[in-house]
Amino acid sequence: MKIAIITARGGSKRIPHKNIKEFCGKPIILYSIEAALKSEFFDEVMVSTDSAEIADIARKAGAKVPFMRSEKTSNDYAGTNDVIAEVLEEYEKRGKTFDSFCCIYPTAPFITAEKLRESAKLLDDEYTYTVVPVVQYSYPPQRSIVIRDGFVEMQFPEITEARSQDLEPIYHDCGQFYWGKTKPFIQSKILIGNKTRPFVLPESEVQDIDNEEDWKLAELKFNFLQNKL
């Protein structure tokens, strides 16, 4: 049994109504819901929210909202791990358990059904507990510069003379979705650990959306990809 958990609380200070703001013609959360449903991979596609408006949009799109998010996991300090744990534990109270889950962010329009199916295959390995999409930094972080007392300094002066192609590639979390096996997650509450497999994505399909400028850039990337197909 597999569940898709789309985390979409109502509060958003930097981008008001961020999770249901129109993105290239429709509420941004619909991209996540539609990708999960289209994958035909899940026994349950649900949205965890504290907002009646978001819940209504989610249900109309075909997702389930069997219960509302608690006040504890609706504040600015609750993490993704807390929300996932709450959902899985609430389902268990209702007599429904899942072997694995996929936590999907509501502001991830670059997610597709194909990506969900492909990344899920990595979880088949018995030694893998979680899977996370990652993207390589476009510029080597090892060459970062800091400003101290008004002057620039190399953060890592020991590699000043190293060629960029000789530096180890460094990646970061895409902030789109997380696959996990339920039992080890409930025990550890860890999404990225020593038993996490990477699902590498190109930079053109990744965009953090934290402010209005990010939003516009994400729409440009999205439209570019759509026209390219």
pTM of the entire predicted model: 0.94
Handedness of CA 30, 35, 36, 38 (dihedral sign): positive
pLDDT computed for residue 165 by the predictor: 86
State both tokens at 117.
Answer: 């199916």
Q: Residue 227's pLDDT is what?
A: 85
| pLDDT for the residue numbered 212 | 94
Two tokens, residue 22: 């129109």
Among residues 220, 96, 90, 113, the alpha carbon closest in space to that of 177 is found at: 113
- pLDDT at position 199, please? 98
| Structure confidence at residue 11 (pLDDT) | 78
Token digits for 65? Answer: 């909202």
2-134+172-228, which class in CATH?
alpha beta
| Per-residue model confidence as pLDDT tens for the chain (229 residues) | 999 999 999 877 789 899 999 999 999 999 999 999 999 999 999 999 999 999 999 999 999 999 999 989 888 788 999 999 999 999 999 999 999 999 999 999 999 999 999 999 999 999 999 999 999 999 999 999 999 999 999 999 998 888 888 999 999 999 999 999 999 999 999 999 999 999 999 999 999 999 999 999 999 999 999 887 6
Token duo for residue 144 = 């970062």
DSSP secondary structure code for residue 122 in this structure: G
